[in-house]
Amino acid sequence: MRPIVSVSPISDIGSGRLPGRPGGLYCIDSPLTARPSLMSRLDLKRLGPCLLAIAIDAMGFGLVYPMMSAIFSDPHAGMLAADTSPLLRNFYLGLGYGIFPFCMFFGSSLMGELSDGYGRRAILLLCLSGLAVSYGLMAIGALMSSVWWLLLGRGLSGLMAGCQGIAQAAITDMSTPENKAYNMSIMSMAFSAGVIVGPVLGGVTSDRTVSPVFNYGTPFLLVGLLSALCAVWTWVSYRDADAASGNARIDLALPLRIIYQAATNKDVALLSAVFFLMQVGYGLYLQTIMLVLQTRFHYASAQLGLFSGVIGVSFVLGLRFVVRVMLRFWRVIDIAKMGLVVAGVCQILSALFPHEIALWCLATLVGCFDMVAYTTMYTAFSDAVTAERQGWSLGVAGSVMAIAWVVTGLLTNLLPVVGDIGLLLTGGISFLLSALMMLFYGQRDGRTPEAMRSNAISKAPSSGHRSPR
């Protein structure tokens, strides 16, 4: 899954206004555009632990997916008995994929609520310590060939998934009007580094052909150690900018209530359906393309990690450059439709022409335009509601994304029925269906974003809830 990155409205970039106004296209600022005087104001003692937490969270996303494919699909990996049936292997693979977003669905909102009441530092320490334990459990599972220890650690890491959002909120708390834009850009660099480094680290350090000391437990041990070091750094250096209220309400039903409220708002409900199909499409691509490369081209985990790293680079290019260029010519909704169509078509082409070079080239386009669509979809959620409901709408998007990735994990069980090519085609079709629904959303009543905000005043749920992130 892709973590939710901290962003600022594109309409504020280069206009002299500081980030913070709701609406507009959300896109990461470049540190190169920050004023030179701000370059020396980075307080690593205070911000460093939060930036490392963001990088670790992003790193964990790319680290796990190529490894899960190798661990559960390879009969010689030792995680499952060599004579385990393909059906059971697919079941465990789907469980490994799906248990993280399922736990994240509840954990991210819970940690967000607790951080508001008990302070960022305390809950950030809890999340980082929990991540260190979860990666330790996954390492034990990999080293002892215990699928249940591996899945337990995977689930715990989902419960601790509020780490990135809390770190972003902490940096925002410490920022001033003079350095906020620069701090946001540094956050984007931390996220980008994690997205790119994670899959390469996971792939290379789990491949015995690279070094005999490497195994499937090595990447988990490394990231677990990094999480523990970040927790220590947070304990020593970071202090909350604002005093904690000490008044937090633990509400495990919050994500369910957010989804229910979304269904009562026609605009947000339609966007949620679009976003759900988009996430199912990309989830099927990421999970299935690893199996294609492993089974058809005999890729080892190092090669799978490098392939995922290329997708990570494409994410960053789409987020930092392609969206900005497209904004000069098209509206946000049109960019979202174009991103969905290009990603869907490239995924279908990957299924129809599963040749090695073609898959690598198409992966760059899928990653780039999926991120284009992802970014603009978040903007559409923001534009669909009033200023007072921004946190709620983005919380809806995060909850929908978690549900979609649970579903994609379950769909892995269809591999014996439709095969890897069939799942890739299904994902591509899901992308195209989301583009059709986005077309309907954009044309309905010929509304502009301003009209959508006006229309949303009477439709937004009356009871307020904070964003899960």
55-74 per-position pLDDT tens digit: 998 887 778 877 887 788 77
253-460: CATH number: 1.20.1250.20
424-464 pLDDT, tens digit each: 999 999 999 999 999 999 876 455 444 444 443 333 333 33
Question: Do the domains 1-252 and 253-460 sit in the same CATH topology, yes or no?
Answer: yes
The distance from CA 369 to its chain's CA centroid, rounded to whole angstroms, is: 15
Q: Calculate the alpha carbon distances from 376 to 275, 319, 446, 463 in Å.
A: 11, 10, 19, 27
Lookup result for tokens 């901290």: 6
**252-261: average pLDDT:** 80
- pLDDT interval class at 245 (50, 70, 90): low
* CA-closest candidate to residue 226, choices 135, 346, 341: 135
List the domain boundaries for the chain.
1-252, 253-460
User: What pTM was estimated for this model as a whole?
Assistant: 0.79
What is the distance between the alpha carbons of residues 138 and 141, in angstroms, rounded to a whole number? 5
Per residue in 300-353, pLDDT tens?
A: 888 988 999 999 899 989 988 898 899 899 988 999 999 999 999 999 999 999
Answer for the pair 243, 107: CB distance below 8 angstroms, yes or no: no
Q: Which tokens sit at 391?
A: 């946190």
Q: Distance (Å, rounded) from C-alpha 372 to C-alpha 376?
A: 6
Of residues 253 and 298, the one with the higher pLDDT is: 298
Q: What CATH code is assigned to 1-252? A: 1.20.1250.20
CA distance 450 to 27: 20
Contacts 24+ apart (CB under 8 A), 79-86: 79/141, 79/142, 79/145, 79/147, 79/150, 79/216, 80/147, 86/415, 86/416
Which of 246, 271, 296, 263 shows the shortest CA–CA distance to 384? 271
44-53, 85-94, 244-253, 436-445: range with lowest mean pLDDT:
244-253
State phi, psi for 455 to the nearest 5 degrees: -65, -30
- d(C-alpha 380, C-alpha 267), whole Å: 10
Cα gap 16→28, rounded to integer Å: 16
173: tokens are 């708390």
Cα 330 to Cα 25, 199, 339, 370, 440, distances in angstroms? 12, 33, 12, 17, 17
Instruction: Dig out the tokens for 359 from the structure.
Output: 């898959």
